[in-house]
Amino acid sequence: MRVAILGSGRGSNAAAILEAQAAGRLGRAHVVQILSDKPDAGILALDARFGVPAAFVDPAPFKTKLEGEGEARFIAAVLAAQADLVVLAGFMRVLKPGFLNAFAGKIINLHPSLLPSFPGLDGIGQAFRRGVKITGCTVHGVTAEVDGGPILDQTAVRVEPTDTLESLAEKIHAAEHALLPAVIARLSERG
Ligand code: GAR
């Protein structure tokens, strides 16, 4: 299963996927391409570390969604990679029907809360400020409804009275780093 990872940030989840692959824990999946909509994103430095091609793709003209010319460029890049699975690992743009239809049923997303609670931006901060005692992370299939597609797996994380936003974020990221590679491995074994 050929995997393309899309991300906008530091790329710790992409690194976790590549570490799982190196350790033989990614099933029949292997990462063939990393793509980012931010030219200076940390995720783009992973090509040097893991030897996987990483590229900035210009998302213009929109700021928070992927549509129009930027969308066409991303579709072309994923098609060129011949990806069987598109993994959104911190890709901070709303996908529109052009991209969704091009890769229907092949896109998964990681979100830092127990969906359907706290969708959208800053899932960790939303949960922390609401005072929930259990939060976590979710991997789900991507549909036109933002953070609303079918849930594939989740990990719960307890919020301790001593937790700060920073310590909670650290625990959720650790849970994400285990969950996302495990889901990809499972999908790759589906046959
Ligand atoms: C992750 O915590 C992921 O759940 C979140 O972005 C972070 C990316 O971190 N995604 C969203 O909030 C999507 N709505 P990373 O760049 O270190 O992998």
41-69, pLDDT tens digit by residue? Answer: 999 999 999 999 999 999 999 999 999 99
Ligand 1 neighbours (beta carbon < 6 A): 7, 9-13, 43, 89-90, 110-112, 123, 173, 176
Q: Which pLDDT does position 77 carry in this prediction?
A: 98
Tell the residue nearest (CA) to atom 1 of ligand 1: 90
Q: Which pLDDT does position 41 carry in this prediction?
A: 97
Strands 134-141 and 107-111: antiparallel
Q: Write the single-letter amino acid at 123.
A: G
Indicate if the pLDDT at residue 191 is higher than 80: no
Best mutation site among 37, 66, 111, 177 for ligand 1 pocket (most ligand atoms within 8 Å of CB)? 111
Query: What's the 111 CA to ligand 1 centre distance in angstroms?
Result: 6
DSSP 110-138: EESS-TTSS-SS-HHHHHHHHT-SEEEEE
Question: Can you tell me the distance from the alpha carbon of 146 to that of 86, in angstroms, rounded to the nearest whole number?
Answer: 16
66-117, pLDDT tens digit by residue? Answer: 999 999 999 999 999 999 999 999 999 999 999 999 999 999 999 999 999 9
Q: Enumerate the active-site residues.
A: 111
Asked if residues 43 and 9 have their Cβ atoms less than 8 Å apart, the reply is yes
Look at the alpha carbons of 66, 85, 8, 77 in this order and tell me if their dihedral is positive or negative.
negative
Tell the residue nearest (CA) to atom 3 of ligand 1: 90
Give ∠ CA 72-9-81 in degrees, rounded to 5.
40
Other Cβ atoms less than 10 A from the Cβ of 140: the count is 22
**Domain 2-189 coded CATH 3.40.50.2300:** no
Inter-CA distances, 169 with 85, 156, 158, 173, Å: 27, 13, 11, 6
Query: What's the 110 CA to ligand 1 centre distance in angstroms?
Result: 7
Look at the alpha carbons of 78, 28, 146, 55 in this order and tell me if their dihedral is positive or negative.
negative
Any residues with CB less than 8 A from the CB of 91 and at least 6 apart, and which? 6, 7, 8, 37, 109
Beta bridge partners of 94: 65
Strands 94-95 and 30-36: unpaired
Write down the pTM of the prediction.
0.97
Query: What's the 184 CA to ligand 1 centre distance in angstroms?
Result: 16
